[in-house]
Structure 1
Amino acid sequence: MNVRILELIEGAKQARGLTVIIDVYRAFSLESYLFGQGAKAIFPIGSIEEALAYRKEHPDYITFGERYGAQVEGFEYGNSPSQVVGKDLTGKYCIHTTSAGTQGIVNATGATEIVAASLVNAGAIARYIQCKDPEEVSIVAMGNQGVSTADEDVLCAHYIKALLEGADYEQTCTLVQQKAEDLRTSAGKKFFDPKQPAFPEGDFELCSAVDRFAFAIRVGHDETGRLVNTRFDC
């Protein structure tokens, strides 16, 4: 298995083989919580305009989205796990657009298969890939707005790569948990800055809960050809 780590939107465009799109703060952490709370499917959409148009076709779908961290006007929710944690989403369909994570999905046009990852489901993603046993794996750390490196995404990428290369799970997971916690004074400090209300403090702990969920998020297409994310228990 040839495993390589790429970064940002440009990395997503270069991805080949089974491709992992990573957004820890916060797109795919949020999606993991949505699926954990019963969501049926999530539609990742690149633009706000397309997301709103699709919601107009399906007014019962729930909209989630951000630009520069802030909730998109007209959406029910932003990109924040703490906004929705504990809510019953059983059987619900969701629409999701973000500055990084969903952009990675729509730009990974050379991938043979796409899965979405964050620290909260990284171990499950590694197990999923091991079961599929592809020849080529591209792990894309999407970064900040898809244009600059984000330490949390790089940490997640190296964690998945280490597991795929046979690292001891318990030791590696413990080390990653420590490094994720250390990010509160660097990449995660925005969650503790009262001047940045778009990043609530509760999101840091929720996004840092390494391997909280034992399922992968698979990206596929519905009967109309639209991208759709679904839960796959590993």
Structure 2
Amino acid sequence: MQIHLFQGSHTPPVQSNVTIVVDVIRAFTVSFYALLQGADRILLMETAEQAIKFRQKNPTFLLAGETNGYPIEGFNFENSPYQIKQQELKGRTLVQKTTNGVRAALNCLDTEHLFVTGFAGAKTTAEYVREEFADRLDPPVINIVASHPTDEDDFACAVYIKSILEGSRDISFLEVINRIRQSEAAEKFFDEKKPEFKREDLLICLEERPSDFVMKVNGTGKIPMIERVIV
């Protein structure tokens, strides 16, 4: 395998067969729990305005996300896995807009196979990609994109995924958790002056959660969407 690590929401400079976009705090942790709570699919939108206009035409759709970390007026949900875990979403469609994770995924649509994950599904995603593509492609080129442009939370998780793909275990489970917890992105969840950032969200983002699915982006339609792929 040829594995490349990139950081930021821009389009990677290397063409790949497979791309894995990582957003731990909080976008793709929200996506993961939305699917666990029964959501059928998650549509990805570049801007809040696009999401709101789209919901006007589809009033049963639910909006979730943030701008620069903060809730968006008119959205049903914040970018909060804790909030999503409290919802019954069976059969519902979620529309998601976030500053880093969603934008990074939208900028990676030219890859053949695009997956997204937080830490919760990182191990499952890495194992699925390794088993599904390692022998089928010769050799597979895999991009792993840590969507936060500067911080350690997504990058540590990306290194963890790379280590599982390579079978090297260069970074331990506990080291990943510690690097996420100590990241700049995590600091605001311990700041009592910033009640918009719930500590419960961070704790959920630090949990690795075995599941029977991975999150794959279907970019063939007019609007890219995250779908559940059973493993």
Q: Same fold (TM over 0.5)?
A: yes
2-structure distance, mates of 1:71, 1:216: 27
Distance 1:214 1:191 in 2: 30
**C-alpha displacement of 1:192:** 1.0
Residue 214 of structure 2 is matched in structure 1 by 216
Secondary structure of the structure 2 residue equivalent to 1:219: strand
Q: Distance in 2 between matches of 1:126 and 1:35?
A: 18
**Map of 1:100 onto structure 2:** 100
Is 1:124 matched with 2:124?
Answer: yes
Q: How does 1:37-76 map to 2 (within 5 A)?
A: 37-76=37-76
1:47-104 deviations in whole A, cap 9, x for unaligned?
1111111111110001001001111110011111111213211111100000001101
Question: Aligned residues, how many?
Answer: 225
Confirm whether residue 137 of structure 1 aligns to residue 142 of structure 2: yes
Tell me the amino acid that sits aligned with residue 143 of structure 2: S
Q: 1:12 to 1:97 in 2, by over 3 A?
A: farther
Deviation (angstroms), 1:13: 6.0
CA shift in 2, pair 1:39/1:193, >3 Å: same
The structure carrying a bigger helix percent of its residues is 1
- Other-structure match for 2:158: 157
Whole-angstrom CA distance in 2 between matches of 1:90 and 1:200? 25
* Distance in 2 of aligned mates of 1:136 and 1:184: 30
Rounded to whole Å, the distance in 1 between the matches of 2:13 and 2:42 is: 22
- Which residue of 1 is the match for residue 28 of structure 2? 28
Q: CA deviation at 1:9?
A: 1.9
User: In the aligned structure 2, how far is the partner of 1:156 from the partner of 1:182?
Assistant: 9
Does residue 6 of the first structure (1) align with residue 17 of the second (2)? no
SS across alignment from 1:20: strand
TM-score by length of 1: 0.89
Unaligned runs of 5+ in 1: none
TM-score (norm 2): 0.90
**How big is the shift at 1:181?**
3.9
Q: What is the alpha-carbon distance in structure 2 between the residues aligned to residue 76 and residue 155 of structure 1?
A: 31
Percent of aligned pairs with the same amino acid? 27
Tell whether the 8 Å contact from 1:80 to 1:203 is kept in structure 2 after alignment. Answer: yes
Q: 2: distance between equivalents of 1:227 and 1:115?
A: 12
1:177 counterpart = 2:174: yes
SS at structure 1 position matched to 2:222:
coil
* 2:113 partner SS: strand
Aligned-pair CA distance for 1:15: 5.1
Q: Name structure 2 gaps, 5 residues minimum.
A: none
The amino acid of 1:156's aligned partner reads: C
The answer to whether the 8 A contact 1:13-1:107 is kept is: no
Question: Structure 1 residues 15 and 32 mapped into 2: Cα distance closer, same or farther (>3 Å)?
Answer: farther
Shift, 1:156, TM fit: 0.8
Counterpart amino acid of residue 208 in structure 2:
V
CA contact (8 A) 1:16 1:111 kept: yes
Deviations 1:17-56 (A, max 9, x none): 2111110000001100101111100001111111111111
8 Å CA contact retained: 1:219, 1:228? yes
Letter paired with 1:10 = H
> What is the identity, as a one-letter code, of the residue corresponding to 1:137?
I
Deviation at 1:228, TM superposition (A): 1.0
C-alpha distance 14-98 of structure 1, shift in aligned 2 (>3 A): farther
Residue 70 of structure 1 aligns to a residue in which SS?
A: coil
Query: 1:97, 1:123 → 2: CA distance?
Result: 24
Give the SS at the match of 1:91.
Answer: coil
